[in-house]
Amino acid sequence: METRYIHTVQYYETDKMGITHHSNYIRWMEEARVDFLKKIGWDYDKLEALGVFSPVLSVECRYKAPTAFAEEVNITVAVTEFRGVKLKIRYTMTNAKGRVVCEGVSEHGFLNAEGRPPALGPRAAGALPPADAPGGGAGAAKRGRKRLLFLLPLLLVLLAGAAVLVRNPHYLYVAGEYLGLNCRRIERRQVEPEGLVSVTLEELEGEENVRFDQSLLLVSAAHPLPEDFVPDVTEYRDSGVYMNNCMQEAFAALSDAVREHGESGLYVSSDFRTRAQQEEEYAADPALAALPGSSEHEAGLALDVYVRYFAGYAFHKSRGGQFVGRNGWKYGFILRYPSFGEKETGITYEPWHIRYVGQPHASLIYNGHTTLEGYIDSLHEGVWYEAQGYRFCRQRPRDGALLLPEERAGAVVSPDNTGCYIVTIPNEGAA
C-alpha cells in the first residue's frame, strides 16, 4: 500500500549553506505519514478516540542528495511490514527531476488504552461464550470489546489496503507481475543439430559471421567478475552515459518506445561503474551496495532507470515504468531483480534495475516467470534448444573448443561467468 505526499521546502528549513537541514526530513516523514492515514480514512484523532495509540519505535534516514528553498519534494509512503502489533513504513523522497534525495524508515507499535500492546491470543481468534455461560454476561461483553480493540489494527490494515488499491491502481500491475499474469506461453524445445564440428574459441574469434559479446554474464555475489575482467563499454550517443556495446541499439529502441507511450523519456540514474567506483560505493554504504566484483554495473550490462517524477520504487507507478516491466523483454531487457525472485537472486525487488540479455533469452526469462539465475540453471550443458527463431546451447569448452553446427552465420557467443559459453544462432531469416 502506497500514497504520495508533496512538501515544498520552506526558507526556515534551510541552513547557512543554503540547503535543507537534515532534521527536517524526519519531520516531513511524519507529515507524509499523517497524510497517509487521513487518505485512508483513519486520522490519528479517530484512532485515539477508539482507544488505539501508535507510538514511534524507531526512525532511520539515509540522505542521498541536498534540497533547497522552494523545491518540491515528492514523498512516497509505503507500508512494508505489519505484524499485528508492529507497523513498518518506508519513505522515498525525490526531487522534481526524479532523483532520490532521501530514503527513510519508521517503525510503530500499537497500544491499547492501558498502555499495553495488544496480544492476539486464542480468545481473540475464537468465538465469545454465550451470555448465560460461565464467565458470560458483563464479562463476556467486556472481553468482546477487548477482542474488537485487539483486532482493530489488523482491520485498519485491511481497510487501508482496500482504500489504497482504489487510489493506486498500479498495485494491480505489481500483483500481475508477481503472479506472472502477463506472461505468454513460449515453446522451448530440445533439438539435435546435424553436422556438429569442434571449433576452438580462437578460431571462432576469427570468423566474420560470428560475434562475441558479454550479454549473458551472470554477475552476483555467488558469481563475481574476475579481477582481470575487461568490460566492453563505450559512451551512449554522447550522453555521458556508459553502457555495454551489446545493448546500445536495444536501449535506444526501448527508450523510443517509452516516449511513444506518453513519457518525456527514459532516463538513467546509474550506469557503468569501474571496480574503483564500486569499491567507493561499497565503502560508503555496505548495507545497500554490492560487493566489488558482484555488481552488474561493473560489466555495463545494467542500468538504473526512471521517468520524470518517478524514480526508485515509484518507477512502477508510471506508465513508462509499467511499460518497461511488461514489455522490456521485447527489446532484450529483463527486470534483473523481480518481485518474485528474491529467493534466487538474493536481492529484493528493484523495478528500476534493468538488465540486457538479448533474444531469445529475454523472451524466455520474462515469459517463463523466472530469473537470470533460474534460466541459466535450466540450460543443461551440451543440450541444444530452439525457440523464437533461434537455436542456442550452453557449453563448457573442451580443450578450448565448442561443438557447433557448420552453418552458424550470425552466431553470438557470450561467456556466462560460470565457466560456460552460451552460443545463440538465428535460424535462417530470423533477426
pLDDT digits (tens, 9 = 90+) for 238-272: 999 999 999 999 999 999 999 999 898 999 999 99
Number of domains in the chain: 2
Report the CATH number that the domain containing residue 79 is assigned in CATH: 3.10.129.10
Is there a single domain that holds both residue 255 and residue 349?
yes
Residue 361 lies in domain:
179-426
Q: Is residue 431 part of a domain?
A: no
Give the residue from 168, 201, 221 where a domain finishes. Answer: 168
Report the CATH number that the domain containing residue 208 is assigned in CATH: 3.30.1380.10
Is there a single domain that holds both residue 289 and residue 334?
yes
The pLDDT tens digits along the chain (431 residues) read 567 899 999 999 999 889 999 999 999 999 998 888 887 777 777 777 767 778 888 999 999 999 999 999 999 998 887 766 778 899 999 998 889 999 999 998 877 767 776 544 333 333 323 334 444 445 554 555 555 555 566 566 655 555 555 566 677 788 889 899 899 999 999 999 988 999 999 999 999 999 999 999 999 999 999 999 999 999 999 999 999 999 999 999 999 999 999 898 999 999 999 999 999 989 988 888 889 999 999 999 999 999 999 999 999 999 999 999 999 999 999 999 999 999 999 999 999 999 999 999 999 999 999 999 999 999 999 999 999 999 999 999 999 999 999 999 999 999 999 999 999 999 974 44
Nearest to 407 by CA among 197, 205, 251: 197
Is there a single domain that holds both residue 217 and residue 267?
yes
% helix, strand, coil for the chain, step of 5: 35, 25, 40
Is there a single domain that holds both residue 97 and residue 203?
no
Q: Is residue 390 part of a domain?
A: yes
Active site residues: 15
Q: Is residue 174 part of a domain?
A: no
Q: Is residue 173 part of a domain?
A: no
Give the residue from 168, 193, 227 where a domain finishes. Answer: 168
Is there a single domain that holds both residue 331 and residue 226?
yes
CB crowding 97-112: b at 16 or more within 10 Å, else e: ebbbbbbbbbebebeb
Is there a single domain that holds both residue 83 and residue 207?
no
Task: Provide the phi-psi class of 417: left if phi over 0, else alpha when psi is between -120 and 50, else beta.
Answer: left
Q: pLDDT tens for residues 329-343?
A: 999 999 999 999 999
Grid cell listed for 302 = 545494467
334: Cβ contacts below 8 Å, ≥ 6 apart: 328, 354, 355, 357, 362, 365, 366, 372
How is 377-400 classified by DSSP, letter by letter? HHS-TT-EEEETTEEEEEE--BTT
Is there a single domain that holds both residue 143 and residue 264?
no
Is there a single domain that holds both residue 266 and residue 125?
no
Is there a single domain that holds both residue 357 and residue 213?
yes
Nearest to 92 by CA among 350, 355, 295: 350
